[in-house]
Structure 1
Amino acid sequence: MRNRRLWIVTLAASIVAVTAGVPARADGGFTVAHWAMNEPSGAQVMYDSSGYGLNGSIGGEVVTARDSGDGYGYGFGRLDPDTPPTHPQHLVVVPGYAALNPGDRDFSVSLRLRTPYQFGNVIQKGQATVAGGSFKIQIPGGKVQCWFRGSAGQVLVTAPRPVNDSRWHTITCTRYSTGVAVAIDGVVAASKAGPTGTIANNWPLSIGGKTNCDQVEVGCDYFAGDLDWVQIDAAGHDW
């Protein structure tokens, strides 16, 4: 399962597309980055196995080589929301490579997580008001939200059922020219129509929370739980 390609989705996407204007999948997709998260204990580098070398830095508070049941992943400890001090070592940070920007492409972020908690930003590039737009996956109330903000607007999609049941779940958030969809365990859970346009910023991609926060005026929204892998796919624009 770890190395399985997750370029969205199944026949269920076609059903959602009828009402939301979201296509079943993007043609010509390719993997931009795949972080297997199988580094040994104490590792400081998260390696990208896609062939593009988009490696990241693992913070000292992130537990590597955590048993996922069918391999190894990363563990993120619980931190009280909006409570100082900040914990930058709680994050995994990938430099702001241009390839990690959606641009105007169909763009998909997939990951496998396990958590008993109901808060946290799992992955993001950019924050709410940064120039160039941003995207993120978060789990307020334990429900997966996919958010994409670009030159043409923003779209937020929320899955109807929570995933904070301490079981492993595979999540895929996909941005199309016509909207955004979220799939959980291979089934489309929700979608919403609306253009987002071009998304491109100079910010790093962060896993486990925000990079620019103070826990007073801006909460860091630290994720708590386990991650098994993260993958990003994209397609050439054909809008």
Structure 2
Amino acid sequence: MSEAHELGLRERKRQETRRAIQVAVLRLVRQRGLDKVTVEDVSRMVNVSPRTFFNYFPSKSAAFIGEAPGIPSDADIEAFVHAGGGTESLVSQLMGLLESNLRRTEADRELYQLRLEVMRENSYLFGIYMATMRDFEQDLERILIRRFLVDRPELASDRQGLENRARLYALVATATIRHGWLRWANSDGTIPLSQHVRSSFDEMYEMTRRSD
């Protein structure tokens, strides 16, 4: 067996264990509530040690949340920051920046729907998840500030205005992504998540154009 093949198998096993832990947490939380689920309970269900659990997640809450929306690679960020206006709108370019990570989520519809069901039944758990979205929004804000300064360097003279502008775009982007997620989770699954989110961005862009 080649070293590359062995590394591939090892990574696939890691991904399977990571997913199994998340599924176990979600099923146990749905049955008992987060406060009545322990790391030991989850470990027994997945047939791993608590030590192995902590190799994947720092807490049961982190396992419950799973992968929150992430920011793409440094190369993708740099391309977005320096993309310029051109013929493509900033909204469309922002969607392009986020699209690759959305494809990662659409590959596991079952896990996402299970998490959504649990959050719908418990507003406290939904609040935990939304706290991670705030981290995502702050990352987007920093990226957007860089983009705005490249496009319009004069904005640097009004730091508060610059930050408010970036925050507005980040909040709208997050809400639009969530809209696409909900459409995807409540659909029959024939259309991928990234396409649902793209449609939500397109609709939002058309609404802003009509209101001009």
Q: TM-score range by the shorter chain?
A: under 0.3
Q: Which has the higher contact order (CA 8 A, sep 6+)?
A: 1
TM-score for both structures, normalised by structure 2:
0.27
TM-score for both structures, normalised by structure 1:
0.25
More helix by share: 2
Q: Looking at CA atoms only, which structure, 1 or 2, has the larger radius of gyration?
A: 2
More strand by share: 1
